[in-house]
């Protein structure tokens, strides 16, 4: 039986149902499990913590039976036993049957999550730390009710969130969107009823986390007139900070109406990021 951690989050014991390649750099993994009936989320950029088996193991070692004490006990496990933890965004949630989708970015050199996703198959087991309350603190996309223009930017790691946000925007909502991918074959058809203009950027191999084209594209963009825009930016940490400065300093957007989320940082693993926090 799965043990609750701290409301509104809890552990979910899941297994892979199927996988689907979305492009050269992207793979979608669908999960199911009896616990998912307790999984609730109203967010479109819902953040999750996924625990994958250590290399050579078939199940993720996470001491969920310890309740709130799981974190310290998990950290004290040997490196070759301790489950690999990575942060991901929920792509979609379905009922009857209960399933969730998580999209993974494949890259070289591959990290443990990228390696796992590339060879994932039906029946593979994972643990997920996710929401049991629909409105929770791991949801960041929260445009004010008076928003008259939604501005979105994301790299490949933010593509699932941007896709879900676009699906949820109401008909007629004005939106401008910039998405950066590393391969033109990763470009997707995104569904939305919003009045959305989507610009795809294919990143150059510059070695920089934030390619020059990202800032250039935003600086060159002619935005619709708006009195109360809302900006959501997510991707590489340094890049989103630079783009936030553009919207606040160069575009004059109220900083309180700008949400920016660093999903990863150039040259650092998630373990290193958490240790630096």
Q: What are the domain boundaries of the chain?
A: 4-131, 149-264
| Cα 274 to Cα 67, 242, 277, distances in angstroms | 21, 21, 5
pLDDT of residue 1: 36
Q: CATH class for domain 4-131? A: mainly beta
Pairing mode of beta strands 149-154, 229-236: parallel
pLDDT of residue 14: 98
Q: Are 247 and 152 in contact (CB under 8 A)?
A: no
Topology annotation, domain 149-264: Rossmann fold (3.40.50)
Strand, coil or helix: 165: helix
Does this chain's domain 4-131 share its CATH topology with 149-264?
no
Residues of the chain with confidence (pLDDT) below 70 = 1-7, 204-212, 266-277
Strand residues in 135-254 grouped as ranges (E): 149-154, 174-181, 195-202, 229-236
Q: How many residues are there in the chain?
A: 277
The separation between CA 200 and the C-alpha centre of its own chain, rounded to angstroms, equals 18
Strand residues in the chain grouped as ranges (E): 4-6, 9-23, 26-32, 47-52, 84-94, 99-105, 125-131, 149-154, 174-181, 195-202, 229-236, 258-264
pTM of the entire predicted model: 0.90
pLDDT of residue 2: 43
Written as six digits, the tokens of 237 are 């940490």
pLDDT digits (tens, 9 = 90+) for 138-161: 999 999 999 999 999 999 999 999
Distance between CA atoms of 22 and 219, rounded to whole angstroms? 30
Longest dimension (CA), the chain: 56
pLDDT of residue 78: 97
The residue assigned the tokens 């470009």 is 187
Q: Which residues are CB-neighbours of 260 under 8 A, at least 6 positions away?
A: 231, 232, 233, 234, 240, 241, 243, 244
Q: Is the dihedral of CA 157, 198, 238, 184 positive or negative?
A: positive
pLDDT of residue 108: 80
């Amino acid at each position: 039986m799965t043990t609750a951690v701290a409301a509104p989050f809890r552990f979910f014991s899941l297994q892979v149902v199927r996988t689907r390649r979305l492009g050269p750099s992207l793979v979608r993994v669908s999960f199911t499990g009896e616990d998912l009936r307790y999984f609730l989320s109203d967010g479109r950029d819902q953040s999750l913590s996924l625990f994958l088996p250590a290399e050579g193991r078939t199940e993720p070692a996470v001491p969920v039976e310890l309740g709130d004490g799981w974190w310290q006990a998990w950290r004290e496990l040997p490196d070759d036993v301790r489950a690999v933890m990575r942060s991901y965004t929920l792509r979609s949630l379905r009922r009857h049957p209960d399933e969730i989708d998580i999209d993974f970015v494949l890259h070289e050199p591959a990290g443990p999550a990228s390696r796992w996703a590339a060879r994932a198959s039906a029946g593979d087991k994972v643990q997920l730390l996710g929401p049991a309350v629909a409105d929770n603190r791991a949801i960041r996309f929260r445009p004010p009710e008076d928003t008259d223009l939604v501005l979105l930017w994301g790299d490949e790691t933010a593509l699932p969130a941007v896709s879900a946000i676009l699906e949820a925007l109401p008909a007629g909502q004005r939106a401008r969107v910039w998405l950066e991918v590393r391969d033109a074959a990763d470009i997707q058809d995104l569904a939305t009823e919003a009045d959305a203009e989507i610009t795809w950027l294919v990143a150059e191999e510059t070695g920089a986390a934030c390619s020059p084209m990202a800032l250039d594209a935003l600086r060159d963009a002619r935005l619709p007139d708006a009195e109360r825009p809302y900006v959501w930016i997510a991707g590489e940490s340094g890049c989103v900070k630079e783009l936030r400065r553009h919207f606040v300093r160069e575009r004059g957007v109220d900083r309180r109406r700008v949400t920016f989320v660093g999903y990863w940082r150039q040259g650092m693993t998630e373990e290193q990021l958490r240790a630096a926090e």
